[in-house]
Structure 1
Amino acid sequence: MGKAKDIKERIVGKAKQTLGEVIGDQSLHEDGKAQAAHGRDEQDKPKEINPLKKLNHLT
């Protein structure tokens, strides 16, 4: 995923988690918690490093 998508995933997950907590829906809370964790894991994953990537586009 891209960095923006990972951040969005975390935000949406946190929102679901909070909403589930406020309305007392445990499954929504757990779903949001899992989604936020997935976004955090994706964001923390090392990205592919290719220093010649832009050079390949120019040729």
Structure 2
Amino acid sequence: MSKTKGLGQRIAGKTKQAIGEIVGDQDLHEEGREQAGHGRDEQSKPSELNPSKKLNQLT
């Protein structure tokens, strides 16, 4: 997954969290929290196109 898709996952997850909070749907809120976390993890992965980021993680 790319950083752009990771950002999309975070936005969708945060939206689900907010809607779940507004309507009182705890399951939707939790689903959104998990989705946002997954997107955050994807964004923090080093890019395949930038090997210097991988080097920084190793040091």
Q: TM-score range by the shorter chain?
A: 0.7 to 0.9
Normalised TM-score (structure 2): 0.78
**Structure showing greater Rg:** 1
Structure 1 portions without partners, runs of 5+: 52-59
After superposition, what is the alpha-carbon deviation per residue over 1:1-35, rounded to whole angstroms, capped at 9, x for unaligned?
11211110000000000000000000000000000
Within 2, Cα distance between the matches of 1:32 and 1:11? 9
Q: Which runs of 4+ in 1 moved over 3 A?
A: none
Superposition CA RMSD, Å: 1.6
Aligned residues: 51
- The secondary structure found in structure 2 opposite 1:18 is helix
Normalised TM-score (structure 1): 0.78
